[in-house]
Amino acid sequence: MKRWLFFAACLLAACTSEPRWELVWEDDFDGVSLDTTIWSRIPRGGADWQNTLTFDDRCYEVRDGRLVLHGVVNPDPAADTVAYWTGGVWTRGKHAFEGGRVEIRARFGSARGAWPAIWMLPFDGAAHPYPHGGEIDIMEHLNHDSLVYQTVHSHYTLHLGGADEPPHFTTAAIDPADFNVYGVEFCRDSLVFSVNGRRTFAYPRIETPKEGQFPFDIAYELLLDMQLGGSWVGAVDPAELPVRMEIDWVRHYKMKE
């Protein structure tokens, strides 16, 4: 057995014993607007995940105890040349997640070119620039799939040939028409992913002479975004829009002493 397989098996077994978790923070979106002490709307950028984002209120709702992020055909092409508008929020500069377990209960519509994501980047991006500080993709969904991707990225996986030693992603089956709970646990020597409380994937810290294999013992920000289109998800079918992503709650747990 390869050494990383041994580590992965041991760490997944260790983290599957039920720890005593204590809820330390949550947002259940029970208000009438987004809590701007925690969340900000994500500005548009050049990357595929960011190039249709808008601040327009038509892509954001807080109602019925849920945050709703919309993906729509651009209703004002004279003022904005992008084909589509999408909503996304993050906790950048406002709220950090460090250690413990992070869970998000969410549901999203399916459409060709739809790419809702729940993910994490270093809270202090200046001290931990991408990709050296790592990226944790708690959930990504593509098109009409009945599965989600759960992935880690780092300097080691992207630039040093370490994507397969140890494997850096998995897929997990879901019912895309229903709410599901997506989670990640920050264990001392691994990240452990879950869907609906069932462990799906463990990414272990291993011994390697290559740098940056496990940068995940720092504070992270959380991103929730309803993206449309891109080189990975493919082209958008505007006839299948609008599409939306609903977030019921976000919770952060720490293990009791």
Instruction: Supply the residues annotated as catalytic.
Output: 135, 140
For residue 151, give the 3-state DSSP assignment. Answer: strand
Contacts 24+ apart (CB under 8 A), 72-76: 72/241, 72/242, 73/238, 73/241, 73/242
- Quickly list DSSP for 79-146: T---SEEE-EEE-TTT--B-SEEEEEEEEE---TTEEEEEEEEESSTTTS-TTTT-EEEEEE--TT-S
Within a 10 A sphere around the Cβ of 203, how many other Cβ atoms?
30
Distance CA 55, CA 71 (A): 12
Contact 171, 215 (CB under 8 A): no
Residue 120 bridge partners (DSSP): 136, 222
Element housing 204 (H / E): strand 198-204
Contact in structure between 225 and 40 (CB atoms under 8 Å): no
